[in-house]
Chains A and B, each alone.
Chain A
């Protein structure tokens, strides 16, 4: 079972919710930090990292001995990552999306693949919680292949909790696609609601059931609740704006470990999600 925690707007509490849910459920859960541009779930889960692997993405390598400068490779590339000028083939690795199209269309078989470093993937654990995160190389702009790589490590037998990146573009899609449920974390502010709407529309297109956590639920206005009702989005948990929660967070301490009453609430949140997923699988 895969639960992806997303938000639209950044800083609403995705990591807080996802790490606390993982800690509340405890041993047997799997946690994937897919916010690879700035992974921070380890600060709260405090896993022991057991191994690290380098992640590369394929880019073309041209054998000029075989190349006839026919330009079929550059014609198919939507990102202009490969071009042919005066008997030279130029490759711009940072523009390449690793689709392999140039290799397929090359009539001479002159293109093979080599790798470009994207970042690293870390494997660890803490108290029976399996932990994996991706960390994008500084200067790299293409995160989806790394996110997909992190997700490929998911154990289908486990409950997998994904901490997704903010926004609604490719990296978020990569972190949500194929999930059984998307848990949206928002705050009741106009900004939070604006971006939540975009995220909700995205999830609709992906056909994944979703529900809401409203964090800092007693600030801002009440618009998000009216929106949730109109959209028939279940509000599965509300967390008030409390100083003690903020203090724990700022020191890297989890809510469920600091305040035992919250452990129950996060378990309940998970059970509500489980129920929605089960109901859906019986009706489909």
Chain B
């Protein structure tokens, strides 16, 4: 299974970036092989509006089935829902810890966004 984890760096040992839309990087990790692709999210970091929508579209295109992040706002959540990507929010620590947790089934999926939209 492919999991998208927001990250401050390009490694599995990097810290999880609590932001989704404007995260520094998003790592697309294969939970079986632990092979991953680090996506540079700088275009969205500087987006004028709708960074979350764009990031959600991007990870869906990459085939991620789950997003693991700190905060996910309403527009990003709606986009992920439409794309069939499940969300695990309130994630912190290292990217690898998050991946391990989901492999072991120790996560709960969010039914709603956990952050208000902003202007």
CB of A84 closer than 8 Å to a CB of B:
yes
- The residue in B47, B54, B75, B119 that gathers the most chain A C-beta atoms within 10 A of its C-beta is B75
A76 to chain B, nearest CB (A): 13
Query: When the two chains form their complex, are residues B50 and A80 in contact, meaning their CB atoms are under 8 A apart?
Result: yes
The residue from A78, A85, A141 contacting B57, defined by CB atoms under 8 A apart: A85
Query: When the two chains form their complex, are residues B53 and A83 in contact, meaning their CB atoms are under 8 A apart?
Result: yes
Query: When the two chains form their complex, are residues B119 and A86 in contact, meaning their CB atoms are under 8 A apart?
Result: no
Query: When the two chains form their complex, are residues B78 and A90 in contact, meaning their CB atoms are under 8 A apart?
Result: yes
CB of B83 closer than 8 Å to a CB of A:
yes
CB of A227 closer than 8 Å to a CB of B:
no
Instruction: Count contacts between A and B, CB distance < 8 Å.
Output: 45
Query: When the two chains form their complex, are residues A141 and B119 in contact, meaning their CB atoms are under 8 A apart?
Result: yes
0/1 interface trace, chain B 32-67, chain A, CB 8 Å (1 if under): 000000000000000111110110110010000000
0/1 interface trace, chain B 83-119, chain A, CB 8 Å (1 if under): 1100000000000000000000000000000000001
A83 to B54, alpha carbons, bound, how many Å?
A: 8
CB of A67 closer than 8 Å to a CB of B:
no
Query: When the two chains form their complex, are residues A78 and B48 in contact, meaning their CB atoms are under 8 A apart?
Result: yes
CB of B82 closer than 8 Å to a CB of A:
yes
Near B by CB (< 8 A), chain A positions 134-171 give 141
A73 to chain B, nearest CB (A): 12
Query: When the two chains form their complex, are residues A85 and B83 in contact, meaning their CB atoms are under 8 A apart?
Result: yes
Number of interface residues of B (CB under 8 A): 17
A79 to B47, alpha carbons, bound, how many Å?
A: 8
CB of A88 closer than 8 Å to a CB of B:
yes
B44 to chain A, nearest CB (A): 9
A79 to B48, alpha carbons, bound, how many Å?
A: 6
Query: When the two chains form their complex, are residues A79 and B82 in contact, meaning their CB atoms are under 8 A apart?
Result: no
Given A83-B54, A83-B57, A141-B119, are A88 and B83 also a contact pair (CB < 8 Å)?
yes
Near B by CB (< 8 A), chain A positions 207-247 give none
0/1 interface trace, chain A 44-86, chain B, CB 8 Å (1 if under): 0000000000000000000000000000001000111101111
CB of B79 closer than 8 Å to a CB of A:
yes
CB-CB under 8 A from A92, the residues of chain B are 50, 53, 75
Residue of B nearest to A71 (CB): B57
CB of A95 closer than 8 Å to a CB of B:
yes
Given A92-B50, A95-B50, A141-B119, are A83 and B84 also a contact pair (CB < 8 Å)?
no
Residue of A nearest to B47 (CB): A80
A74 to B79, alpha carbons, bound, how many Å?
A: 13
CB-CB under 8 A from A80, the residues of chain B are 47, 49-51, 53-54
Residue of A nearest to B82 (CB): A88
A49 to B57, alpha carbons, bound, how many Å?
A: 47
A248 to B98, alpha carbons, bound, how many Å?
A: 64
A95 to B74, alpha carbons, bound, how many Å?
A: 13
CB-CB under 8 A from B75, the residues of chain A are 92, 95
CB-CB under 8 A from A86, the residues of chain B are 60, 82-84
- 5 new A-B contacts at CB < 8 Å, known A80-B50, A92-B53: A85-B60, A85-B79, A88-B82, A90-B79, A95-B75
25 A-B residue pairs with Cβ-Cβ distance under 8 Å, sorted by A, are: A74-B57, A79-B48, A80-B54, A81-B49, A81-B50, A83-B50, A83-B53, A83-B56, A83-B57, A83-B79, A85-B60, A85-B83, A86-B60, A86-B82, A86-B83, A88-B82, A90-B53, A90-B82, A92-B50, A92-B53, A92-B75, A95-B49, A95-B50, A95-B53, A141-B119
List of 7 A-B pairs having minimum Cβ-Cβ separation, nearest first: A80-B50, A85-B83, A80-B53, A79-B49, A88-B82, A83-B57, A85-B60
